[in-house]
């Protein structure tokens, strides 16, 4: 044991990983997990070690929110949760790593966009972070840029199949080239699936109002399924895995199933809002608070996605946290100008734990997999992140699985000052959050420090394992 290194013994907890749960003691040395054993005697510890009693608590790896937009500058404004606020609310939710996004500045090499985003995040973040790099256009040097990007620890790109009007869409020929380059450098492609042509046609045919509820009509689930089918087929032809972000609809799910039957390799993400909220939310006076893209769907879609989640057809639940204040959201009632996006990182764990319990069909290990292990593997962060094992980062959450509470604007910490899950009764609460051995949250008090979060270089994404 190294002299002067801080040691923490977490005793008597139920230690949970994706494989299951068992009573064990867990020893942290500095930033790493040093030992996990049935009994680690206090007498063996160096003087000054901290001992934490975790009886009645579950000890699990820090969660990874694989889809966040903290401090997003968009449409002449900025989101409510910047890097400091995002880190704080995440830590309260047991999230110790987020994977955020860097926009593609087409005037620069991809890595320059990424490094600028990393620098900005480093200054404010108190939890760790990795990055997905947006690619919104093709040119002949993209393959070289992807190689540099991957060497710099950014091994996932994000593409859109819509937003042609703002220059985000890459046409099929370009995508084929891009996918081939991704295959060469083992870069994961994550994709926002909505068919642009169908959305354009729907908009042209639309007569009448542009209320929040109309947003759902203007971006139908058929657009999601078409985009999944076309981009998914292309990925299968080229021979790359594909990560589908925020699957929102039963129709989209059908397209996923069809592709898998045809041999496509898809990793599918959904979010709590597509599992738990439906488009009836858009009707009330608070309708704008629930506008995001893709839009909320029907109750049937909620149910289908929940079933698919329980059946293992969906691998990752992340949040697409993109928060605006009530004032920002309610500044417009026109769905074309309402700032799209909602908060969610902090609510992720209690909501999903509650869903797991009420379903009676999801073990705690499966929950850990969905929220931590699977995203760590998909994005090349495993086993440094996403599990509790000797040598992994000491990202550890102590969780009280029996505590019941209500989500509302006073019990959560987003700068949005509202939660889309207002009034939801949930079971389970984070008691402590450690990030690399540093205590970030303890009994409702935040101890995180801006600038202490590290950029985590991603390695080869898991779905490429076994390919040379």
Smallest distance from Zn ion to CB 320, Å:
4
Smallest distance from Zn ion to CB 323, Å:
12
Give which of 208, 226, 221, 110 is closest to 157, Cα–Cα.
110
At 233, list the tokens.
Answer: 């087929």
What angle, rounded to 10 degrees, do the helices at 221-238 and 172-185 form?
A: 50
**CB nearer Zn ion, residue 279 or residue 320:** 320
Smallest distance from Zn ion to CB 245, Å:
6
- 111 near 152, Cβ under 8 Å? yes
- 90 near 355, Cβ under 8 Å? no
**CB nearer Zn ion, residue 72 or residue 374:** 72
**Paired sense of beta strands 438-442 and 425-435, if any:** antiparallel
**CB nearer Zn ion, residue 65 or residue 320:** 320
Residues forming contacts to Zn ion in the complex (CB under 5 A) are 320
Smallest distance from Zn ion to CB 243, Å:
12
Give which of 194, 76, 188 is closest to 130, Cα–Cα.
188
Smallest distance from Zn ion to CB 279, Å:
19
**CB nearer Zn ion, residue 304 or residue 320:** 320
Burial of 319 (0-12, 13-18, 19+ CB in 10 A): buried
**CB nearer Zn ion, residue 29 or residue 100:** 100
How far apart (Å, rounded) are the C-alpha atoms in residues 447 and 437? 13
- 384 near 395, Cβ under 8 Å? no
Smallest distance from Zn ion to CB 234, Å:
21
**CB nearer Zn ion, residue 320 or residue 438:** 320
136-141 long-range CB contacts below 8 Å, 24 or more apart? 136/103, 136/104, 136/106, 136/160, 136/167, 136/168, 136/169, 136/170, 137/104, 137/106, 137/167, 137/170, 137/174, 138/170, 138/174, 138/175, 138/177, 138/178, 141/109
Smallest distance from Zn ion to CB 317, Å:
14
**CB nearer Zn ion, residue 273 or residue 353:** 273
Residue least distant from Zn ion (Cβ): 320
Q: Which residues pair with 33 in a beta bridge?
A: 28
**CB nearer Zn ion, residue 42 or residue 73:** 73
How far apart (Å, rounded) are the C-alpha atoms in residues 369 and 458? 18
Smallest distance from Zn ion to CB 271, Å:
9
């Amino acid at each position: 044991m190294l002299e002067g290194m801080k040691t923490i013994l977490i005793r008597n907890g139920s230690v949970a990983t994706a494989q299951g749960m068992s009573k064990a003691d867990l020893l942290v040395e500095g930033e790493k997990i040093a030992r996990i054993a049935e009994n680690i005697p206090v007498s063996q510890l160096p003087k000054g070690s901290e001992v934490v009693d975790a009886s009645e608590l579950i000890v699990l790896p820090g969660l990874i929110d694989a889809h966040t937009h903290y401090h997003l500058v968009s449409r002449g404004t900025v989101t409510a949760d910047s890097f400091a606020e995002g880190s704080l609310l995440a830590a309260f939710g047991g999230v110790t790593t987020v994977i955020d996004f860097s926009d593609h500045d087409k005037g620069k090499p991809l890595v320059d966009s990424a490094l600028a985003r990393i620098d900005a995040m480093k200054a404010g973040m108190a939890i760790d972070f990795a990055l997905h790099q947006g690619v919104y256009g093709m040119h002949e040097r993209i393959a070289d840029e992807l190689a540099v990007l991957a060497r710099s620890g950014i091994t996932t790109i994000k593409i859109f199949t819509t937003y042609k009007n703002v220059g985000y869409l890459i046409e099929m020929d370009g995508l084929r080239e891009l996918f081939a380059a991704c295959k060469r450098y083992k870069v994961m492609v994550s994709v926002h699936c909505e068919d642009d042509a169908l959305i354009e046609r729907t908009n042209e045919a639309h007569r009448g109002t542009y209320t929040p509820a109309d947003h759902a009509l203007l971006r139908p689930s058929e657009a999601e399924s078409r985009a999944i089918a076309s981009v998914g087929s292309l990925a299968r032809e080229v021979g790359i895995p594909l990560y589908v972000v925020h699957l929102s609809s039963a129709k989209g799910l059908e397209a996923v199933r069809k592709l898998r039957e045809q041999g496509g390799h898809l990793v599918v993400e959904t979010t709590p809002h597509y599992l738990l909220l439906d488009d009836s939310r858009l009707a009330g006076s608070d309708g704008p608070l629930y506008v995001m893209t893709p839009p909320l769907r029907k109750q049937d879609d909620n149910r289908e996605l929940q079933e698919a989640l329980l059946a293992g057809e969906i691998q990752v639940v992340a949040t697409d946290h993109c928060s605006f204040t009530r004032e920002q959201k309610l500044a417009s009632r026109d769905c074309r100008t309402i700032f799209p996006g909602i908060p969610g990182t902090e609510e992720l764990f209690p909501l999903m734990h509650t869903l797991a319990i009420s379903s009676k069909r999801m073990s705690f290990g499966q929950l850990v997999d969905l929220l931590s292990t699977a995203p760590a593997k998909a994005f090349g962060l495993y086993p440094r992140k996403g599990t509790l094992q000797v040598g992994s980062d000491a990202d550890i959450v102590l969780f009280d699985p029996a505590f019941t509470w209500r989500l509302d604007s006073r019990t959560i910490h987003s700068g949005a000052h509202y939660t889309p899950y207002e009034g939801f009764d949930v079971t389970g609460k984070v008691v402590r959050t450690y990030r690399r051995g540093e205590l970030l949250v303890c009994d409702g008090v935040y101890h995180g420090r801006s600038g202490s979060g590290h950029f985590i270089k991603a390695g080869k994404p898991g779905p490429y394992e076994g390919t040379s």
